[in-house]
Amino acid sequence: MSLTADVAVAAAERLERSTGPGPGLRVWRRLASNAASAELRGRAILGGLRCATAVRDLGAIRDLRLLWQTVDTVDEALWDGVFAACKELARADLGVCAADLAGSEIKRARTPRGLYVYARCLDVGNDARATVAFGEALASAEREGATALARACRVRRAAWLARSAEGLSEAIEEAKRVAPAEVTPAERLVLARVLLRSPSRFARASAIGLLDDLANADPNGNDTTPSSATLARAAMVLAARHADDMSDDLTPLEVDRLLALFSREKNAKDVVRVRDAIRAIDRLARAKETKSEAEFEAALADAARADPELAILHQRARDILRGRFEPHEASKTTLHPQWTALLDAVVAMRDSAWPRTANALRRLAESAERGERLPPHAWTVAQAALGTDDAEVRGVAGRLVIAMTKTTTAAPPRGWLGLANALAICGMDDVATVARRSAALAKEAGAADALGLALTRSGWQLAMSGDRARAIERLREAKALDAAHRPTPSSPDGDASRALPAPPAPPRG
């Protein structure tokens, strides 16, 4: 640092301390505009950003971040300063300004850490552009050999990709490429959340192992920091939700890992009911596999004893199956409102009471739209409702499906492809494509062909409507999907034609 810069900065800092951020901002801006050296200009800009953030002067923030692009060289101190300025802007709820400042830095010099900071600003601001930004930062970090930065980018990119059905498959592959031992505990939680959505039971079991490590970190009890306790609680909640989502699709391997997690001495007393619920889920699943009605009834009885409210719901479900008449009033059960609404919808559909069916489905859709996670059986009820003759019921069922695709990670008990077909018949093509993507990821029979056909048809329709960019994107994806699932020459159908469908004929007239 030069003596001249030190003197000028010290004088501006004294004025800022004595008169406040408002007058200080004017001094810093004047100093930044007149600075002869890159060092002085950079330090003045950072001082001005600090004051502008304090007084929330958006015009000054804009001018200063544009001026930042003219700083020729940035040493470690200036880099740390601009990074701190981005964080301070984000803390002040000025996330857009933070992203703009980080964008000015990458316009000044496109470095891996600059790209990462820009992506993180978008990430914190919940901006969907973060997915692409993390991809660019990852590629840059790998080229430069910045392995730690590349790992951080890959974790965050996986988290963003997993937010959509289109990116889930790639998200899982990205998560698999990260060594859990080399990332922070918070990043391990992110990896576990992504891997729990894998179609592979081994990937899901490894994710439960990560959650076990987080939930039971430091068995000697030395780590009592709030962050550690928060992560441990989040890990246990995520594990319990996974068991709830998967229900009787839990594999024995996952059950063993989950029971081990919730049986550690550190947590055993607090999660007795969770552990009992997992055992009940496993017992019900095994009874269904063996088709033993006696074992199934015994498992239901044990579950009811653990939660008496469930016994009421079980009895009501039996009555519905027997065809027992129910009055129109809603059930008095309040501890399980979602299950109550599900049963309300089932009995209303059974009785062809379409207004009551729509009302029950609307309650479920509103619950999902509030961010609440519905049991996987809601998929089955929604699929049945999509096949009814009532337009209002079909519309509300579609609303329920759309809400659940954003909040519920559980797969439909009967698979994604049947749901996709039901949505397509109702004309809900976009949501049907989302379901087909999930079916293809789960490797359901015929799902890849159905998705490829839907993408191809959509691509040609977009091309005919003039949306060339999206059309090319859909057709390229369909072509890649076709190539990935093309039979080898040695397979029985290796010489069968799997060419992409021809485009539809242009409309006449």
DSSP code per residue over 147-209? HHHHHHHHHHHHHHHTTSHHHHHHHHHHHHTS-GGGS-HHHHHHHHHHHTT-S-HHHHHHHHH
Checking if the pLDDT of 187 tops 50, the result is yes
Residue 253 half-sphere exposure toward CB, CA atoms < 13 A: 10
Choose the weakest-confidence range: 283-287, 436-440, 489-493, 497-501: 497-501
Angle value at C-alpha 307, between 295 and 211, nearest 5 degrees: 85
Q: Does 295 fall in a domain? A: no
Would you state the pLDDT for residue 485?
66
Would you state the pLDDT for residue 494?
45
Q: What average pLDDT does this structure show over 74-94?
A: 90
Q: Does 328 fall in a domain? A: no
**pTM confidence score:** 0.77
Choose the weakest-confidence range: 55-59, 204-208, 227-231, 391-395: 227-231
Checking if the pLDDT of 13 tops 80, the result is yes
Choose the weakest-confidence range: 72-86, 295-309, 335-349: 295-309
Using N-to-C axis directions, what is the helix angle for 21-34 and 58-68, rounded to 10°? Answer: 30
Number of domain units in the chain: 1
Q: Does 146 fall in a domain? A: no
More confident residue, 322 or 437: 437
For residue 140, the SS3 value is: helix
More confident residue, 90 or 280: 90
Domain that holds residue 449: 433-509
DSSP 442: T
Checking if the pLDDT of 62 tops 80, the result is yes
498 pLDDT tier (thresholds 50, 70, 90): very low
367 pLDDT tier (thresholds 50, 70, 90): very high
Q: Does 151 fall in a domain? A: no
| Proportion of the chain above pLDDT 90, given as a percent | 43
* Side chain identity at residue 228, one-letter code: S
Choose the weakest-confidence range: 114-123, 215-224, 495-504: 495-504
Choose the weakest-confidence range: 193-207, 331-345, 397-411: 331-345
Q: Does 466 fall in a domain? A: yes
Checking if the pLDDT of 220 tops 80, the result is no
Residue 302: other Cβ atoms inside 10 A: 14
487 pLDDT tier (thresholds 50, 70, 90): low
CA distance readout (Å), 113 to 134, 148, 171, 356, 500: 11, 11, 22, 56, 42
Q: Does 321 fall in a domain? A: no
115 pLDDT tier (thresholds 50, 70, 90): very high
Structure tokens belonging to residue 185: 């505990």
Would you state the pLDDT for residue 399?
94
| Rounded CA separation 394/400 (Å) | 10
Q: Does 485 fall in a domain? A: yes
507 pLDDT tier (thresholds 50, 70, 90): very low
Checking if the pLDDT of 497 tops 50, the result is no
- Which is nearest to 70 in space by CA: 91, 100, 39? 39
Checking if the pLDDT of 226 tops 60, the result is no
Using N-to-C axis directions, what is the helix angle for 226-246 and 272-290, rounded to 10°? Answer: 20
Q: Does 437 fall in a domain? A: yes
Q: What average pLDDT does this structure show over 498-505?
A: 45
Q: For the chain, give the mean pLDDT.
A: 85
